[in-house]
C-alpha cells in the first residue's frame, strides 16, 4: 500500500506524444498538440467527503490520513513525478460537429501502476481552468460531483464497464452555476472527484486528428492505443481488427445499459470511450416507469436524440464517426471498414436477446422467444410500470395464474397509475404467454429464478435519492449519502429494501429528480 503524495507516477501518454508544455491555461486552439500541460488551480479548503475503499484496496492506495494526500485529491498538491495535463479531442454533439473540445474541467495527474503491472490514469474533475475550458471555469459543483462519484461506483457494482471514482473532496469555495441555463445562476458548493480508468481516450481523440489532417498523429495514436490496450492484436489488418473490438465492446456496453435501464443522457462522440467503458456522468438517469422515449436531459428534449430506447442506434452512429476518423489509415479497405461497422447490429442483437432471456429466466433463446421478448417490450411500453420493480415481481410470479385480476394484483407495486381494462388485459395476455414458455424450461424453477436475480438489479441509484442525498449533504447531513454508498455495493440483494420503492409523486416534476441538464 502506498501514499498518493509519495507514489512514483508514470507519464507514458505525455512521453509518447507532442503536447503544449508551456503550462499556460488561456483557452485556445492547439493544432498539432494532443494535450496541454495544465496544473490544477488550488482551492481554499479541500476536505475529504468520500473514499472508495474497495477501489483503493485494488490499487494499493493508503487511506489519505494527512492533509498532503487530501491536497492531491483536491488539486492543491502536485508531486514531482506527476505531469498534470488536459487532453485535446473533438466531437459530434447532438449530431453536429463541434470542433475542438478537450478536457475543460478534467486534469490527468499521471498513471498509477499496480503490482500486477496494470496501469490506471488518475484524473481530477473540477480542478480548475485548462486550455480547453473555453468560456467555463474548470470547476465542478458538489451536486454534479456527488452524482459522478456515486454513479460510476454504482455501475461498477452492477457489473457494467465503467470509469471509477476514488474520492470526493469538497473545496470550501462556492461555484456559480446556472443549473438549467435559464438565467437563474446561483452559487453552489464546489467539489472535486478523482476518477480512475485504464484510459480516458474517447472517439473524439481520433476525430480531432482526422479533422486537422494530422494523419501521422492519427496513425501514431491508433498504433499506441492498440499496443497498449489491445496488445493481442497484431498483423497487417490490426487497425480493422482493433476497430472490430471497439465495435463489439460498444455494442455489449449498450446491452448492459439496456439491461438495467440506464440512460446516459448525452451520448456525444466525445463521451464515448475507446475501451467500451461508461464515461462522463452528467444528466444521466435510470428509467423509473418503462418508457423507451425517456430522456433525462433538458438539452435533449426537442428531439430526444439520446432517449433510452435510442441509445444502441446512437452508439452505432457514433461508431460511424469513429470509422470516418480512422478511414485515412485503411483507405484501401473502405469496404471492410464499413462491414466491420455494420457488424455492430449482429453483435448487439445477439447479445441483447441473450440478455433478455436471462432477465426472463429462460434456459435458451429461440426465434419464437424473440417474439415473446418483443411482446414484453411492447406491453411494458404501453403500461409503463416501474422497470426495476416489475422484473423483481416477475421473479416471484406463480407458475399458474387464474385471471386478469390476480396478475394485476401481483404487479400492483410497480404501477405508477391504475391500469385501464385494456391495459390489464394486455398484461394478462403477456403473462399467460410468458408462463407457457417458462413451463417449457429445461432448467429448474429455482435455477431460473437465480438467473433472473443475477441479471435484474433490485436496487438502482434513482435520481430522487441522489437529489435528497445532495440536498442533505449541502446542509452537513451525510446519513443518506453514506447509506447510498453502502447500497450501491449490493444492487442484486435485498439488504437495502428501504430503497425498494417507486419514484415518489413529488419527484416527478422536481428539478434535479425528473429532468437534468448538462450542468448536472
Q: Which of 20, 270, 288, 369 is catalytic?
A: 270
457 with 258: CB under 8 angstroms? Answer: no
Q: Is 270 a catalytic residue?
A: yes
Helices (H), 439-512: 445-455, 463-474, 479-487
* Residues in CB range of 113: below 8 A, 6 or more apart: 10, 119
* Residues in CB range of 98: below 8 A, 6 or more apart: 90, 91, 92, 268, 270
Q: How far apart are CA 94 and CA 97, in angstroms?
A: 9
124 with 46: CB under 8 angstroms? Answer: no
98 with 203: CB under 8 angstroms? Answer: no
387 with 261: CB under 8 angstroms? Answer: yes
- Burial track 332-368 (b if 16+ CB lie within 10 A, e otherwise): ebeeebeebbeebeebbeebbbebbbbbbbbbebeee
Q: How far apart are CA 344 and CA 351, in angstroms?
A: 11
119-125 and 186-197: which strand pairing?
antiparallel
The residues that bridge with 456 in the sheet, in sequence order, are none
* Residues in CB range of 334: below 8 A, 6 or more apart: 327
112 with 119: CB under 8 angstroms? Answer: yes
Give first-to-last CA distance, the chain, whole Å: 34
For cell 399467460, the residue is: 432
Q: How far apart are CA 149 and CA 158, in angstroms?
A: 15
Q: How far apart are CA 259 and CA 245, in angstroms?
A: 21
Q: For residue 149, how far is the Cα from the chain centroid?
A: 11
Residues that are catalytic:
270
Amino acid at each position: 500500500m502506498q501514499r498518493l503524495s509519495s507514489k512514483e507516477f508514470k507519464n507514458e501518454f505525455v512521453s509518447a506524444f507532442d503536447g503544449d508544455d508551456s503550462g499556460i491555461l488561456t483557452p485556445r486552439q492547439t493544432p498539432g498538440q494532443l494535450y496541454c500541460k495544465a496544473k490544477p488551480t488550488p482551492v481554499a479548503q479541500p476536505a475529504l467527503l468520500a473514499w472508495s475503499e474497495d477501489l483503493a484496496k485494488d490499487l494499493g492506495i493508503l487511506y489519505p490520513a494527512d492533509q498532503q494526500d487530501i491536497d492531491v485529491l483536491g488539486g492543491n498538491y502536485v508531486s514531482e513525478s506527476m505531469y498534470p495535463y488536459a487532453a485535446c479531442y473533438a466531437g459530434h454533439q447532438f449530431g453536429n460537429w463541434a470542433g475542438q473540445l478537450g478536457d475543460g474541467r478534467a486534469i490527468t495527474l499521471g498513471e498509477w501502476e499496480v503490482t500486477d503491472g496494470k496501469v490506471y490514469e488518475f484524473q481530477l474533475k473540477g480542478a480548475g481552468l485548462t486550455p480547453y475550458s473555453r468560456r467555463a471555469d474548470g470547476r465542478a459543483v458538489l451536486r454534479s460531483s456527488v452524482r459522478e462519484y456515486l454513479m460510476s461506483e454504482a455501475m461498477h457494482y452492477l457489473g457494467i464497464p465503467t470509469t471509477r471514482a476514488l474520492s470526493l473532496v469538497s473545496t470550501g469555495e462556492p461555484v456559480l452555476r446556472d443549473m438549467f441555463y435559464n438565467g437563474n445562476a446561483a452559487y453552489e458548493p464546489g467539489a472535486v472527484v478523482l476518477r480512475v480508468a485504464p484510459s480516458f481516450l474517447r472517439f473524439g481523440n481520433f476525430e480531432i486528428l482526422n479533422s486537422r489532417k494530422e494523419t501521422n498523429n492519427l496513425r501514431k495514436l491508433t498504433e499506441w492505443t492498440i499496443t497498449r490496450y489491445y496488445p493481442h492484436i497484431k498483423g497487417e489488418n490490426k487497425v480493422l481488427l482493433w476497430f472490430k473490438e471497439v465495435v463489439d465492446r460498444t455494442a455489449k456496453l449498450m446491452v448492459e445499459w439496456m439491461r438495467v435501464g440506464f440512460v446516459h443522457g448525452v451520448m456525444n462522440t466525445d463521451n464515448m470511450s475507446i475501451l467500451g467503458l461508461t464515461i462522463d456522468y452528467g444528466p444521466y438517469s435510470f428509467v423509473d416507469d418503462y418508457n423507451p422515449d425517456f430522456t433525462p436531459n433538458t438539452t435533449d428534449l426537442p428531439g430526444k436524440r439520446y432517449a433510452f430506447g435510442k441509445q444502441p442506434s446512437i452508439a452505432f452512429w457514433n461508431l460511424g464517426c469513429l470509422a470516418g476518423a480512422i478511414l485515412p489509415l485503411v483507405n484501401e479497405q473502405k469496404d471492410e471498414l464499413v462491414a466491420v461497422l455494420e457488424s455492430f447490429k449482429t453483435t448487439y442483437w445477439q447479445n441483447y436477446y441473450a440478455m433478455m432471456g436471462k432477465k426472463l429466466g429462460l434456459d435458451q433463446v429461440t426465434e419464437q422467444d424473440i417474439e415473446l421478448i418483443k411482446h414484453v417490450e411492447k406491453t411494458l411500453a404501453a403500461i409503463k410500470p416501474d422497470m426495476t420493480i416489475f422484473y423483481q415481481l416477475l421473479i416471484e410470479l406463480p407458475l399458474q395464474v387464474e385471471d386478469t385480476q390476480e396478475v394485476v394484483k401481483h404487479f400492483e407495486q410497480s404501477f405508477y397509475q391504475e391500469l385501464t381494462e385494456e391495459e390489464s388485459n394486455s398484461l394478462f395476455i403477456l403473462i399467460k404467454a410468458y408462463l407457457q414458455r417458462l413451463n417449457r424450461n429445461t432448467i429448474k424453477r429455482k435455477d431460473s429464478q437465480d438467473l433472473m436475480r443475477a441479471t435484474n438489479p433490485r436496487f438502482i441509484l434513482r435520481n430522487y435519492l441522489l437529489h435528497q442525498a445532495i440536498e442533505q449533504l449541502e446542509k452537513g447531513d451525510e446519513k443518506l449519502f453514506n447509506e447510498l454508498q453502502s447500497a450501491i455495493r449490493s444492487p442484486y440483494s435485498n439488504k437495502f429494501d428501504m430503497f425498494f420503492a417507486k419514484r415518489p409523486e413529488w419527484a416527478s416534476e422536481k428539478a434535479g429528480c425528473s429532468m437534468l441538464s448538462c450542468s448536472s
